[in-house]
Amino acid sequence: MSPLPDPLSKVVVWRSDQNKKKRARVPLQCPLAEDPLGYSNFNNTNGQQIASTEIKLEQHKKRARLTSYVEVSAHNISYYGLLERIVKDMSLDVVIEIFSYLQPLELLYLSRTTRELRIFLMSQASSAAIWRTSRTNVFPKLPPIPEGLSEPLYASLAFEASCYVCGLPCENVFWASRIRLHGECKSEVFFTVEDLPERLPQLAVELKELGDLAHVCHHGQIQKHNSTELAMLYCRLIVEKHCREYVDVKDDPGKLEKWRQSREQHYINLEKWAGKCNSWQSRVFMLRRKDIISRLKDVYGVYGLDTWRFRCHPLVQQTKLLTEDEWGSIKPVLVQSLKDTTAYHIRVKQDRPFQNRTLDFRLLYNAKFRNGDQILMPVGDFLASPSAQSINHLIHTTPRHIDIRDDIFPTHIERISGVIAGLSRKWVLQKARELKQVIRENHASYLSLRKTVFQCKACLQVLWVPQVYVHDCPSIPIVNEGPPDWKYLYNPYNTIKNLRIWKADSFRCHASGTECARKFMKLCGAKNLEELAKINPEVECMHKVCYGEGKHLVRWRKIASCNFPYYIMPSGSQRDDTHVKFLSNSPIIAILG
């Protein structure tokens, strides 16, 4: 019996021959299995050798590699962690020279990559020269670093465009306070002298002793509560630091006087430095904007480049110079923004005749129906009702060059006057049901609308029925809302301020005001809040911030939410009894006028 053939003798695979251009069939020594998936062993359990099988190559063979493994890996060298190795291996002078060519913002990003780089760049001894050289190379006219601020913090303040409160992109820097903030986020950081004791209760005594906070940086002014005077706004953290320094020296007259002089000089120097920083920032904005405009003129033209919307674009208003790499990434975004701006201005120009007609109709409508004592539906609700189809058709389908105010509108106003009373009664009944739903959502135990005090969520004005039906809030922004069945191209509810559909969810139920109103109605003998408004009694303002110490009286018609000795009940799904005080715990004064 002839011996079994060698199972590897006829096994061939394709391999690239690096020395020849053509492929060659070269036998390879490798353990192959009987099954195609290779799950079984080469020898069976009885020790007998398995007969050889000829491996058939697939008809569609895989393309052979024309380059060697060594050559491929040479092109894929990983540069991950290379800078970290440079910092460890090279001398300090060479590292400083390399890093000095980076921009301050790039150094900030680099310091957040690895722990070793962060330790190196945040070390005051080794990296101060790097930050200083980088700052002077890129922006030589940037004011020098002030006292009490490190180089990384200065770079973050000057170049890292993000709000310190919300984290969104922001270029509004308060240099004296060393903080970046949006205008909407100022209320989280800046407070008046009257509000600071509530924010810093542990330093209330020191705040009272310091008085008007002389030699402390302030930012803007705000109207005082229930007053025409203006109050300064101060940063809470700066005031807290100022008060703690005062606590350390207030017992020693000599140290106190020396501290006051140092604070005065520090305040003067800080104001000068902040003024220089503002000038530098404005100049950087201008240089970047000019560079972008010069590039866009060749691509898009000049239309829309001088608009406020373009100047305040987040990609344009930045404290960094424009580079070629950045321009390649922001160019399509800015071009699309200019196209949108152009389309917006064209649309506004086309819609201006319809907007003027709507404004004229609102003026005639209010002059005719808003002067009497009867509550009539607002013009926004009327234009959204089916009864205004003819008016809307007249406004939006008449050719733009035809003036319809003096000739056609008065006739339609007279037609409306015959049906507006009935429409308003139905409208009031519907809105009353919505207000009752608001009361139920606030978990209130009273359901009488004429004895309930409401508050506007936007302007915080205190209202009651029937005032609440005609409240024309100036604080509600324009929103893209209108009638769901609006069929015209121009929607006045999206462009005209104070033209809106009345909604009950714009108000909240004022629990403490309602309790106080019940007491006042009982003292004055009024059946509802409308009669109480006619009596117009005087009530004492219990909010000491409004007028200071002592008793101060306010007429009921001019009452504000702070005049009630209660907090506002939250409008959430669950009632929070910790925000509600009882009437018996606070003195109430009602004097008949």
pLDDT, residue 64, reads 52
**pLDDT tens per residue across span 219-262:** 766 655 555 567 788 888 888 888 888 888 888 889 889 998 88
Distance CA 104, CA 558 (A): 55
Distance CA 130, CA 104 (A): 9
Distance CA 108, CA 25 (A): 57
Distance CA 131, CA 347 (A): 49
pLDDT at 399 exceeding the cut of 50:
yes
**pLDDT tens per residue across span 452-490:** 888 888 777 888 888 888 887 766 665 556 777 888 888
Distance CA 183, CA 175 (A): 15
Confidence band of 302 (pLDDT split at 50, 70, 90): low
pLDDT, residue 481, reads 67
pLDDT, residue 546, reads 56
- CB count, 10 Å around CB of 344? 13
Confidence band of 118 (pLDDT split at 50, 70, 90): confident
**pLDDT tens per residue across span 347-390:** 888 999 999 999 999 888 888 887 766 788 888 889 988 888 88
Q: What is the dihedral of CA 297, 299, 301, 307, to 10 degrees?
A: -70
pLDDT, residue 511, reads 79
Distance CA 415, CA 365 (A): 12
Distance CA 294, CA 296 (A): 6
**CA nearest neighbour of 541 among 226, 260, 304:** 226
Domain boundaries, the chain: 1-77, 83-275, 344-448+467-503, 510-593
**Contacts of 322 by beta carbon, 8 Å cutoff, 6+ apart:** 288, 291, 292
**CA nearest neighbour of 122 among 113, 111, 133, 114:** 111
Query: What are phi and psi for residue 554, nearest 5 degrees?
Result: -135, 135
Distance CA 558, CA 452 (A): 17
**pLDDT tens per residue across span 61-97:** 455 554 444 444 445 555 566 666 777 777 778 888 8
CA distances (Å), origin 544, targets 310, 548, 569: 46, 5, 21
Higher confidence at residue 97 or residue 218?
A: 97
Among 206-215, 288-297, 508-517, 547-556, the minimum mean pLDDT is found in 547-556
**What predicted TM-score, i.e. pTM, was given to this entire model?**
0.59
| CA atoms in the 13 A half-sphere facing the CB of 429 | 6
Question: Could you write out the DSSP letters of every residue in 563-588?
Answer: GSSSPPPP-SSS--GGG---GGGS--
